Amino acid sequence: MLKSGQRRHPVDRETAETIAAQGLAFLTADAQRLQRFLALTGLQPAELRTRLGSSEVLAAALSFLAADESLLLTFAASHHVAPEAIAAALARLDGADGQ
So what's the pLDDT on residue 19? 96
What pLDDT, in 10s, does the model give residues 34-91? 999 999 999 999 999 999 889 999 999 999 999 999 999 999 999 999 999 999 999 9
Q: Dihedral angle at the C-alpha atoms of 41, 47, 48, 51, nearest 10 degrees?
A: -110
Higher pLDDT residue, 30 or 98? 30
Distance CA 52, CA 24 (A): 8
Residue 57 host element (H or E): helix 55-66
3-state helix, strand, coil in the chain (%, to 5): 75, 0, 25
Phi and psi torsions of 7, nearest 5° = -65, -35
pTM for the model: 0.83
So what's the pLDDT on residue 1? 37
So what's the pLDDT on residue 3? 44
